[in-house]
Every structure is written in C-alpha cells, then in structure tokens.
Structure 1
Amino acid sequence: MSPIAPPIMRVSHLDKRFGTGCEQCNNQEQRKLENNYCRSCGTVYACQDISFDLYPGEVLGIVGESGSGKSTLMRCLYFDQEVSGGEAYLQPYQQGERNLFQESSQQKKYIRNHLMGKVYQNPVLGLRMEFSSIGNIAEKMIAAGHRQVSAMEARGSELLEKVHIPVYRKMEAPKNFSGGMQQRVQIAKALSNNPPILLLDEVTTGLDLSVQANVLDLIKHLQRELQISMLLVSHDLGVIRMLADRTMVMLDGRVVEQGLTDQILEDPQHAYTQQLVHSLL
C-alpha cells in the first residue's frame, strides 16, 4: 500500500435514493428522516453524501449493519444501479479526470470489463450457473475483446488453479459446486482481465466457518501476490480486521467514521462503531 501515490479511485458525494423525494427530504441540510427513510413520501436514502479515496494496493473495508447502504454503494460503483448524484474517478481511466457516472453505457461496460472485477454475495448474480467454470471466465474475457480460444483456455485454467479449483473440474458447471467453490470461481472470473480494482460484497456470508477461512485466506494471498486494490464490504468485523488496511463504517446510508482499521478497532469514536466493536469482543 502506498498512500503517497495518488488514489486509484476517488468517490465524491455519492448519493443513491429510491423514490422521488419531497419537501421534507429533498434538502440535504434540513432532511428529516427516520433512519434513512422519509415518512412523508416513502423515499429511502440508501447512500447519502459518501466520499472516500482508495489507494493502489490497498484494501478498504466497508462495515455496517444490514440496510446501512454498503451493498448499494458497491452496486453503484459497478454500474449495477444508477446513482442519484455524485462523482467517481479512476486513475487508470482518462487519467482520473472524467466522472464515471456520466460516461456512456458503452464506456461503463469498458470500465466494468477492464478496470474492475466484482464478487457478489450471491454467486447466482456473478456466474452463469449452467456454463462451465472455464466458460464463465471466457465470457468475461470475450466481453473485454479477447478472441483467441487457446489463450482464453490457458488463462482460465491458470486462474482456476490459482483459486484452488481442480483443473479436471474446469468443464463442470458452478451449479454442481459447493458455495465456497462457487465463490472461488467468481473470484477467478473477476480477475480474468487483470483489473486494478476488485469489489468484494459480503463474499463469505452464508458459508461454513472453515470454508469462510479458506476463502479469506485465498483473498489475502491474491491481494499480496497481485497488489490489487480492493473494496471489501462486510458486516463482520472479524473479516475486516483480517483483510482491511483502512475501514469505513456506514450507518443509515452515511459514513459515520473512517480511519486505519487498527485505530477503529482499538479506539472507536462513534457510538455505533463502539457498539460494533464491543459485539466483536
């Protein structure tokens, strides 16, 4: 991790709301909400004024309870959902000078296929369950413009080996695999085009503890080997403690605290973070 280098990703004042808003909630300064919900019009403010930097080779953890907005934030960054407002810049894209959210759908596809990989909490969202495992990897490579079958096969086999999927199972469909193996195929697919940034959304939720530990070890190993920047969403502070250099705490769609992970775990400032840390002890 190199904080002296410019950020690889910069997000500024990101907003995402579900609903049209009304007089009670449209003005951010005087917004009257119950948690992140407007009682007058029913609008939900899933992400409110979120700003952060992600540095090259850094793992930034995003932690918060269910409904805090962390998964919505990830969906916005990967263009699975449109933002309601805000800016995001990537250093490897146009020297970090163009707001990604205002780019054409064609450019967004390019960014998704070349500069980011995403591993979803639910593997069904990240994989085609009927395709072979190597076919899933090839799909992402074809989307990025690869056409040479032998090169894609070689890359797919290399990645499956890297994530500990036996190569003799490369022609099998992920629907035949366990949850942990499906997550590992997703990781291989996400890495297929050497993206500088990986988005990981609750990747160990629902897995057995021993399987969780294996997946986390794999992520840690890959991060060190590839020096890839990661945004890691979890509601589990144990996962964050193991992997994240810095941590951002979200509550009701807002960032309530951010800093070095050790600092946040040892000396939490916000009442909600204190509560989270105490529940870990």
Structure 2
Amino acid sequence: MKIFEKPILEVKNLRKQFGEGCEYCREISEEKLEKNYCPKCGTVYACQDVSFEVYEGEILGVVGESGSGKSTMMQSLYFDDQVTSGELYITNYKEGTKNIFEESSQQKTFIRNNLFGKVYQNPMLGLKMDFSCIGNIAEKLISSGNRNVGFMTQRAKELLDHVNIPIFRMKEAPRNFSGGMQQRVQIAKALSNNPPILLLDEVTTGLDLSVQANVLDLIKKLQRELNISMVIVSHDLGVIRMLADRTIVMLNGKVVESGLTDQILEDPKHPYTQQLVQSLL
C-alpha cells in the first residue's frame, strides 16, 4: 500500500449553490431540503461544505450518482465555475498558504494553465476539434507561457507517442478520431505543461468497454511513470476500484463517506455506499 506524506491539494468547505436561497433554506439542513433542492425557492445546493485532501502521487476517486455534485466540484476546482464559498490550497502555489478561490481571475488563469490539467467527459470541451492534435497541445503550452515552436513540436510528438496516437496523425484534427482517441489527445494536452495535478471528469463514459479499458490502463501507466496527483470523478465504482488509492463518496452535494478505496469497497459504512458496492458485485 502506498504511504502518502503531505497533501498537494486541500479543499475546505467548498459550497456551490445555484439560486439566492431564502429564509427557509439559508441555514442548510437535511430536513429542509429535498435531496439538494429547496422546495420553497428552488435553490440548488450542488456542493455543501465539501472537504478533502489529495496527496502527492495519489489518485483520489470521487464517486456518486448523477446530481451528487461531483462534476460541479470539478468545475469549481478548475475555475470553470465560481464557488459560492470555500477554500482551496495548493502546495505549489505560495507554499499552500493562500486561499486560491479568493485570488484574482488573472492568478486563477495562471494556476489553471500551470498547475492543473483537466480531461473532460465531453472531448469537445477540452479540445478544439478543428485544430490539429499538435495545435491543441501547442495552445496549452502557449497559455502557460511557452513560445518556442521547436520545443512545442517536440513536446507534442513525445506526448502523442506517450498516449499511443500515431505520430503521422499529429497534424490531423481530433474531429476525425474515435471517442477513445479524442480522450487520449485530451490527456496529452492536459499533461503538456507537466502539471502536478490532473483532474479527470467521467473520462470513460460513453466509450466501448474495450476502449474504456485502454484509457484506464493509460491513466494508470501515466500516473505510475509521472508520479502525478489525480482526482478522478466517476459514477462507476469499477473505474474507481481500478484506479483510486483513496475515495470519497458524494450524495446530494455532500461527502457521505471517505477512506482507502479497498476499505470502502470491503466495508462500506453509509447506506448509499453499501448500495453502490452491492450493485458492483
């Protein structure tokens, strides 16, 4: 079993709501909400005080049904969406002393381009489908400050080779590729600036089983070779079992269980986790 020493990323009390809230629901409690929704004013509490750490070289799994808040949480971490409140610390940024959610949009852009890579469920969100593969990777490198064309070309070749995309196809647009190949190009793009943290949101959903297996094998191989920290979101406990060292379980915007993946699978405590594990057997 891996031993992890210190968190590279720490999230405290992340809250994201859609709607203003009302007197009835402003003090959130289970009795007042229907799942994560206020029946009086319609406000959705997509993330309710979500807290967790990710350690160096660790894969953290996030599992939960649709609407549990896991994708909203990932959007918040990558600044695709603004949080309502909460704290985010990364050791590689100002020695982990600054709440990144309170930083300026310019600083958030810097962090997004230099410290994070993200792979979206829908490749159209992570790739420019009309750009070539090499153009997509260059775009990420340019965003993080690189201007050396020779370096960018070489880096793109290395990465595409790493994710098993034939080099002779590097000038092709991803729109010509299968779903599995598009995900591999997305992974190459996300890794281009050597980020310490990779965020993967439902990356195998919609792929054929054999293609899913290839993508999961690739993720595992990259993590082993690069010792990169990852947060992997999935509704599929089979994916989490294969990849994650530790897992958090989300339901109705809250973390209801967390622990070592093996522990959660063998001895789930929360009724929802028990139900999930039962469905896997």
- When the two structures are superposed, what TM-score results if normalisation uses the length of structure 2? 0.98
- Asked if the contact 1:241/1:261 (under 8 Å) is kept, the reply is yes
**Per the alignment, in what secondary structure is the counterpart of residue 7 of structure 2?**
coil
State the AA in 1 paired with 2:4.
Answer: P
Tell me the equivalent position of 2:114: 114
Give CA deviations for 1:76-129 in whole Å, capped at 9, x if unaligned: 000000000100000000000111101111100110011000000000000000
Q: What percentage of residue pairs aligned between the two structures are identical?
A: 70
Q: How many Å separate the matches in 2 of 1:177 and 1:215?
A: 15
In structure 2, the partner of 1:129 is: 129
**Equivalence for 1:54:** 54
Provide the residue aligned with 1:99 in structure 2.
Answer: 99
The one-letter code of the counterpart of 1:144 is S
Give me the whole-angstrom Cα distance separating, in 1, the residues matched to 2:153 and 2:30.
Answer: 56
Match of 1:3 in 2: 4
Cα distance in 1 for residues equivalent to 2:253 and 2:71: 10
Amino acid at match of 1:260: L
Aligned twin of 1:177: 177
CA distance in 1, matches of 2:258, 2:119: 23
Report if aligned partners of 1:7, 1:55 keep a CA contact under 8 Å in 2: yes
Report if the CA contact (8 A) 1:2-1:56 is conserved. Answer: no
Q: Which residue of 2 aligns with 1:42?
A: 42
Unaligned runs of 5+ in 1: none
Provide the aligned length of Structure 1 versus Structure 2.
280
Partner residue in 1 for 2:277:
277
Query: Which residue does 2:243 correspond to in 1?
Result: 243
> Is the CA contact (8 Å cut-off) linking 1:25 and 1:31 kept in structure 2?
no
CA, structure 1 residues 31+20, in 2 after alignment: closer, same or farther (shift >3 Å)?
A: farther
Deviation at 1:142, TM superposition (A): 0.2
**Does the 8 A contact of 1:2 with 1:55 survive in 2?**
no
The CA distance in 2 between the partners of 1:18 and 1:66, in whole Å, is 16
**CA–CA distance in structure 1, aligned partners of residues 183 and 161 of structure 2:** 14
Contact 1:2 1:57 in 2 (8 A): no
How much has 1:130 moved relative to structure 2? 0.2
Instruction: Name the CA distance, whole Å, in 2 between partners of 1:75 and 1:30.
Output: 24
Contact 1:200–1:233 (8 Å) recurs in 2: yes
TM-score normalised by structure 1 residue count: 0.98
Cα distance between partner residues in 2 of 1:2 and 1:110: 30
Aligned equivalents of 2:263 and 2:240: distance in 1? 13
* CA RMSD of superposed structures (Å): 0.9
Q: Does 1:86 align with 2:47?
A: no
